[in-house]
Structure 1
């Protein structure tokens, strides 16, 4: 039996985004699964995304069946997860929504372009995609429960590998595992106070009408968008994308009121309320980031040099040092290792080091051997307005170009073997569970192989 995978939250979001770009005829119910419906637009949207993902932009002949089967499988997993009260928090949902929004921002280049293409504001997109995202997370929680006990043995891995025709074995370019420890010094109290005093002076100038708030934002704000929008933003009270301190301070203001300097994770803000309307507020702000001095960076360099020697002398592992010293928010979760943005693994190729903060790593690679750690070097993160710091680079492994084999690629082969076994467990679960749910599909889908089996099983109940 072919594998049935539940659709991910990301795929569902892509589906809806794809449909937002098309002029659709009146929608139609294509299937009913329990108390949930599947719309014709769901199927057509997935067809668009599947076509985009193929090299030659063509669809397999069984695409409608494959997509409908996936959606039905997901709906059943969602309903079973709800029955079993599997935990999915609103924080998890909000986090996934923000990840998707950032993805599409990168895809289209800006929020303005994204709104132009999709026809939806950021707030509208969040609300539109909340339910699909939540269903995706529930389905994943159910899949994890089904497959959590599935394991593979070395003999199963070898059996899987031996069954692959030798001329079909994958060829891999040179790949690397690269880690980093980053220290981003905090500004001194004196530099904090300097930023606060400057903002207070700006406030005074605006109140005395010797300067215009928008002009000050253009000239002095360190918000990258201020040059274009004069620091003006429309906020919604329930919008989770904004720094919570910035958002809370904004909603405390009355119309035309100017705040005192407000500290956020980005620096210090001066905020003016332009207009309030229900849960929405229009504000204008000036952002100043307290400078990190050369002495601060020199101290961070000295500290990282000591950390490097401790690791090289075997008194601490790189991973332990990451947890203890790195200032990057994700370091404790990814162990300081750079992530492959295509598949989430720690194995990357040189051409994937294309972010501004990664380009100087390429120049280092010829001087590092596996296990080697660079001397401390300047670092600027990829956030707008880039924050300064210092880092050391760790080259964990480097592979040479090669054909897949059990020695160099055992972990990959083991993972694929595990995925197949997990898929078999999911298929078995679906065969047993689907007959306990009501399923109705339009006639054109009744001959799809899995759907025909499921409906036949239901009929026998």
Structure 2
């Protein structure tokens, strides 16, 4: 039962976090919400009519007109915050059948308690960091809805400035809560003996079943890019640069027309809040922090292709930049040569003339995997194992039916910029679905044991802080069975 409770709480927290990190906390629109006779909540400005939930899902039969549901320290939770959470969950296709208003209220109060205590402990979040997040959120909203005006109207704001203000407060509260929670559990560790005690305290029939996993290796062959092709793309970028500098052409317009970066071309090549320690290519950051505001770089190369970069705004240790990415054309001759090379490699591997790992180390063009015999690393947990049910669909489709040691057919893979490579994959190890085994699954069991200990520490901290914090809960929620002692009984 203990393990089930841990997993259940983790699932619930993830569901709530998805909604509350963006929708509930952000959408602080002051709209009066009233139910009609069939459980549909309407806004009094007639802009939106959304069905919130079926009546048997929610333990209350009435809603107050923008009533205050709870106060935690300096933070107020409104009835509409909970209503909006349900709306947003439905819009994202999430099931709300098993999530009650009490559970949402409990999660909201937890978040507000963390944020309140973070301020008491003087935890600091730079405004520039919050502003960077807001810009990314607004860029996404505008890409989805079309214009800033439509975004403001959708969230029932008079203008973008008003929405930005709400976004700032909400994001700062979220970041403070996150920092506080990290601080609470940062020193929590588990010893081998604690892991052992945790595992053997679980009845055998209740021990978790771990899904099927595989380990995968790859060989990547990139078609050769000729010097002529490199020179041609550099010449194109120089021509664009000259048109902007000499004739006053718009960098943003040129990016929309010519940049091959799908992450920024629709935004005129814009990336905001680039930091020195951010995970950009070194060459990209070198240019971003060596230019003055308004300057445009010469063409330069990264692993993604060739760029020119324009510094739009410098804000201390952060810069807003625009860039244009282009990459050289690959000739059919180069594609044919790459195809022959990888076909020959596959033939030799299948014939046993060379092992897959040896071929990867000697011939693969992928720098990240070739020295390790082509072994792929799971980006989620940095392990070599992949859960078949959670793999990238494109990768899963190539290896799903392979036996251990079998090599896939040659296939073409494209990265996010559209660059094509030829690949073969092999399954180096298969792990069938199985009930947890202490020796074989120690690391996974350790994570579960750590999670249980973290939950206990969090619950203890939460109840201690509840005692010292002003808490007021609306009478409609007095009968809720909260995980924490929010009623101070």
When the two structures are superposed, what TM-score results if normalisation uses the length of structure 2? Answer: 0.58
Equivalence for 1:431: 463
The 1-side partners of 2:118 and 2:186 are apart by 9
Q: Residues 269 and 392 from structure 1, CA distance in 2 versus in 1: closer, same or farther, beyond 3 angstroms? A: same
Of residues 71, 78, 85 in structure 1, which corresponds to 2:108? 71
2:229 pairs with 1:198: no
The 2-side partners of 1:438 and 1:187 are apart by 66
Query: Does the 8 A contact of 2:26 with 2:167 survive in 1?
Result: no
Name which of structure 1's ranges 27-36 and 5-14 shifts more when overlaid on structure 2. Answer: 5-14
Equivalence for 1:138: 179
Higher relative contact order (CA 8 A, sep 6+): 1
Equivalence for 2:294: 253
The 1-side partners of 2:116 and 2:408 are apart by 53
Equivalence for 1:316: none
Q: Residues 385 and 188 from structure 1, CA distance in 2 versus in 1: closer, same or farther, beyond 3 angstroms? A: same
2:214 pairs with 1:177: yes
The 2-side partners of 1:207 and 1:81 are apart by 48
2:387 pairs with 1:347: yes
Q: What stretches of structure 1 of length at least 5 have no aligned partner?
A: 314-319, 339-345
Counterparts of residues 37-436 of structure 1 (less than 5 Å) = 37-49=76-88, 57-58=96-97, 60=99, 63-81=100-118, 111-112=144-145, 119=154, 124=164, 127=168, 130-145=171-186, 147-149=188-190, 152-154=194-196, 156-162=198-204, 164=206, 175-181=212-218, 191-201=229-239, 221-224=259-262, 233=268, 235=270, 238=273, 252-253=293-294, 260-261=298-299, 263=301, 266-269=304-307, 287-291=325-329, 294=334, 308-310=356-358, 322=369, 324=371, 334-335=381-382, 337=384, 346-349=386-389, 353-355=392-394, 358=395, 362-369=397-404, 372=405, 374=407, 377=410, 380-388=413-421, 390=423, 392-399=425-432, 419-420=451-452, 422-436=454-468
TM-aligned CA deviation for residue 385 of structure 1: 1.9
Q: Residues 68 and 386 from structure 1, CA distance in 2 versus in 1: closer, same or farther, beyond 3 angstroms? A: same
RMSD: 6.1
Equivalence for 1:13: 21
Equivalence for 2:59: none
The 2-side partners of 1:89 and 1:373 are apart by 52
TM-aligned CA deviation for residue 290 of structure 1: 3.1
The 2-side partners of 1:202 and 1:438 are apart by 61
The 2-side partners of 1:367 and 1:379 are apart by 18
Q: Residues 192 and 57 from structure 1, CA distance in 2 versus in 1: closer, same or farther, beyond 3 angstroms? A: same
Q: Residues 368 and 112 from structure 1, CA distance in 2 versus in 1: closer, same or farther, beyond 3 angstroms? A: farther
Query: Does the 8 A contact of 2:217 with 2:374 survive in 1?
Result: no
Query: Does the 8 A contact of 2:115 with 2:174 survive in 1?
Result: no
The 2-side partners of 1:249 and 1:126 are apart by 32
Q: Residues 56 and 312 from structure 1, CA distance in 2 versus in 1: closer, same or farther, beyond 3 angstroms? A: closer
Q: Residues 203 and 219 from structure 1, CA distance in 2 versus in 1: closer, same or farther, beyond 3 angstroms? A: same
What do the CA deviations read for 1:160-192 (whole angstroms, capped 9, x no partner)? 24464xxxx9888x7332434565869676654
Query: Does the 8 A contact of 1:80 with 1:142 survive in 2?
Result: no
The 2-side partners of 1:434 and 1:381 are apart by 52
Q: What stretches of structure 2 of length at least 5 have no aligned partner?
A: 34-64, 362-366
Query: Does the 8 A contact of 1:183 with 1:325 survive in 2?
Result: no
Query: Does the 8 A contact of 1:179 with 1:393 survive in 2?
Result: yes
The 2-side partners of 1:425 and 1:183 are apart by 46
TM-aligned CA deviation for residue 439 of structure 1: 1.8
The 1-side partners of 2:466 and 2:234 are apart by 62
- Secondary structure class of the residue paired with 2:328: coil
The 2-side partners of 1:220 and 1:90 are apart by 34
How many residue pairs match? The answer is 414
TM-aligned CA deviation for residue 423 of structure 1: 2.9
Query: Does the 8 A contact of 2:68 with 2:79 survive in 1?
Result: yes
Query: Does the 8 A contact of 2:402 with 2:408 survive in 1?
Result: no
Q: Residues 194 and 53 from structure 1, CA distance in 2 versus in 1: closer, same or farther, beyond 3 angstroms? A: closer
The 1-side partners of 2:119 and 2:227 are apart by 51
